[in-house]
Structure 1
Amino acid sequence: MRILPIGPNDEIAVLNGTAVFVEKHSGEVLPVAPELGAVRVSLAEIEALGQARAPRDVRDRDVAACVSLLRNRELVRFDPFDGSELSYHEPGVAYGASGRPHFPRLDPAVIGIVELRGEDRLLLGMNAARQTRFSLIAGYVSHGESLEEAFEREVFEEAARRVSEISYVASQPWPVSGSLMLGMRGVTEDELPQGETDGELSQTIWASPLEIIDNKIPLAPPGSIAHDMIHAWARSKQQ
């Protein structure tokens, strides 16, 4: 997980587990809830937090929100209605010359379990750009798609498997990319690929519950929704 800094000495502060603000190295303070006390957290600490675990408790969630809002503030600088420069007066909400509120963008992404029908085997893929561990099939939801349609499309694009009986499992914020990860699950009868893939994955494998529980496969790190879903699936098969 990478933190997008806005200066060499910038810090992100967490406000008593309920709100956050960013203080620039210039001394300018951009408050979210200035009436609350603050506890300073360095960018290095936040980066370590993001790598170690997902935002689970209140304090972590505020850090996640802060990172996401900071990213949005840095990337979205002009009013889409008239092209004027945006000014941020509220947490994440900006205004330009048009006077219309511009809310921070949140991109939904699907990620999930693909189980081989009739067998205790789970489909895992290794990203071609980061060939260090296996994870679940994932991708962004396109305009006009339902979550189920997006998951079905992503599984076929990345792994060339046809998936059905798709259902929702759980969700997790992923602040640095401004995403909301939506956990899904489905089944396939396709042990082998049924066509060409988009090349996003360098390889796919079928994993057994025992291989997962015994840590025989390098997997997504603890705290990620992928890690939680993979291990929950493996444990359910051992009961």
Structure 2
Amino acid sequence: MTTVLPVAADGHVIAAPDGRPAAVPADWLPGAGRTSVRIDVDLTAVRVSAGELAYVAEQAGGDVVDWHLFAGDRVVAKAVALLRNRDRVRFDPADGAELAYDADGVVARGGATHKLFPRIDPAVIGLVTLAGEEKILLGRNRRRRYFSLVAGYVDSGENLEEAFAREVLEETGRRIRDLAYWGSQPWPVTGSLMMAFTAVTDDYDAVAATDGELAEIRWADRHDLDRLPIARPGSIANRLINEWRDRH
């Protein structure tokens, strides 16, 4: 039986009673004209309103939750990313023609003959430790109430290591060394692929002016992490911070 994974525009999905992401029978969401993308042979993700999502969740006996609770789930990440692409990419950048998507809702064509594939923006993030100390560098963005790790998008012409070193210097005024790749995670709500690093700095204090993106920058030890609000579960920042805390 064909099933559908309903996803609201804000990225909310349904958690089943067993805690897993919930797909529902296709006939629960009838109607033509829905934005949809094929995820698997028998699974399609569909865009629904917040009201529809709440109604379907009630019928399924589940709860409406933010997608990030399933950030490690390939199906949910793919669904959120592809539906976001359908919402945002509607015209051919070459000639302005309205795009027509293939039967799976993934690849598009406009007035030109070339295919348009969903865009993924590379981004970097990482955990910076202070040389000789059991401390990590945290920052609080002006738009958020929690502390997280330095992150940012890769500029044209940069490799990943250069991008992370630049972001740390711009946002915190610290220089870093001994960069090492740690892992990656899709972050579909922004169309990003987050590539994570670890690094070391000798700069306790800033040695350069910052760009003002962070409202607060601080060094945190393990005990600080027990009382500070940090990046939410499901994010690669949360995993990096907790892995460091559990080792120390």
Report TM bin, short chain: 0.7 to 0.9
Inter-CA distance 193–49: structure 2 relative to 1 (3 Å threshold): same
Aligned partner of 1:230 among 206, 216, 241: 241
- Give the structure 2 partner of residue 50 of structure 1: 67
1:162 maps to 2:175: yes
Q: Which residue of 1 aligns with 2:221?
A: 208
Assess if the C-alpha contact under 8 Å between 2:37 and 2:45 holds in 1.
no
Go from structure 1 to structure 2 and tell me whether the alpha carbon gap of 1:69 and 1:200 turns closer, same or farther (over 3 Å shift).
Answer: same
Partner deviation per Cα, 1:156-211 (whole Å, 9 max, x = no partner): 00000001111110111111110111111110000001121111100111111233
TM-score (norm 1): 0.80
For residues 172 and 39 of structure 2, the distance between their equivalents in structure 1, rounded to whole angstroms, comes to 46
Say which of 185, 195, 203 aligns to 2:198. Answer: 185
Query: Given the superposition, is the C-alpha separation of residues 115 and 34 from structure 1 closer, same or farther in structure 2, using an over 3 Å criterion?
Result: closer
Q: CA contact under 8 A between 1:152 and 1:163: conserved in structure 2?
A: yes
Aligned with residue 27 of structure 1, among 14, 29, 32: 32
* Alignment partners' CA distance in 2, 1:35 and 1:175: 21
The equivalent of 2:143 in structure 1 is 129
Identity %: 44
Contact 1:166/1:187, CA 8 A, preserved across alignment: yes
Answer whether contact 1:3 1:176 (CA < 8 A) is retained: no
Counterpart pick for 1:199 among 212, 218, 238: 212
Aligned counterpart, 1:173: 186
Deviations 1:65-96 (A, max 9, x none): 11111111121111122221111113421011
- Matched residue type, 1:211: D
Moved more, 32-41 or 147-156: 32-41
Name which of 153, 159, 165 aligns with 1:146: 159
Q: 1:142 to 1:34 in 2, by over 3 A?
A: closer
Give TM-score scaled by structure 2 length.
Answer: 0.77
After TM superposition, give the deviation of residue 234 of structure 1 in Å. Answer: 1.4
Taking a change above 3 Å as real, the CA distance of residues 149 and 39 of structure 1, as seen in their structure-2 partners, is closer
CA contact (8 A) 1:93 1:104 kept: yes
Residue number in structure 2 paired with 1:8: none
CA–CA separation in structure 1 for the residues paired with 2:203 and 2:39: 52
Gaps of 5+ in 2: 1-6, 15-20, 58-62
Q: Which stretch shows the higher mean deviation, 42-51 or 68-77? A: 42-51
1:119 is matched with 133
In the other structure, the counterpart of 2:100 is: 87
Partner Cα distance (2:45, 2:188) in 1: 20
Compared CA separation, residues 37 and 91, structure 1 to 2 (3 A): closer
On the 8 A contact 2:154/2:163 being kept in 1, the answer is yes
**Pairing 1:99–2:113 present:** yes
What is the distance in 2 between the residues matched to 1:103 and 1:123? Answer: 37
Deviation of 1:33 (Å)? 6.2
Superposition RMSD in Å: 3.1
Paired residues in the alignment total 218
Provide, for residues 22-62 of structure 1, a one-character-per-residue CA deviation record: whole Å limited to 9, x for no partner. x99852254526852669896467971424x2422xxx321
